[in-house]
Amino acid sequence: MNRILIGAGVAALAFLPGCSNLGTQIATLQPVAGDAITGLNIAANDVLLREKVDILVAPVCTYEPETYTCTGTTVKGDEILVTAQGAKPTTFTVSVGGASIYDGPVDAVIKRAGQR
């Protein structure tokens, strides 16, 4: 009986390092889940899909203090430009080849996509 308990204790100790590593991995992922840049990127792609823009390179977003900029390219070679202001932007603009195709709330685009 004691051998069974000792064996179970050794197995539990061998498992614990994996648990602490799992906690670290989850903590690392949590900030990403609600990240403003991710939401902006999703909203921008939804606008482009809704407007039937033929995308060659999907917009990639970057953040400089207080400004988000996402750039991509259409199949025809036109620039896709997405801009937003603030650390957690509430509105953004999407333009293709210099012409604005969307200027409005980020949440409205994300909610609309969620209703499909």
3-state helix, strand, coil in the chain (%, to 5): 50, 35, 20
Helix axes 106-114, 36-50, angle to 10 degrees: 70
Q: How far apart are CA 73 and CA 79, in angstroms?
A: 5
| Whether the model pTM is above 0.85 | no
Task: List per-residue pLDDT tens for the chain, 116 residues long.
Answer: 555 545 445 454 454 455 545 444 444 443 443 488 888 999 999 999 999 999 999 999 999 888 999 999 999 999 999 999 988 899 999 999 999 999 999 989 988 877 76
